[in-house]
Amino acid sequence: MKAAAVIVVMLAALAGTVAAVSAGWLRLDGVEMSIHGWIALGLGAVISLLLGGGLMALSFHSARAGFDDRAGGDEPPV
Model confidence pLDDT, tens digit, residues 32-52: 788 998 899 899 999 999 999
Q: How many domains does the chain have?
A: 1
**Residue 72 and residue 75: Cα distance in Å, rounded?**
6
Alpha carbon of 17 to those of 10, 11, 13, 29: distances in Å? 11, 10, 6, 20
Any domain includes 78:
no
Residues in the chain, pLDDT under 50: none
Any domain includes 75:
no
Any domain includes 76:
no
Any domain includes 77:
no
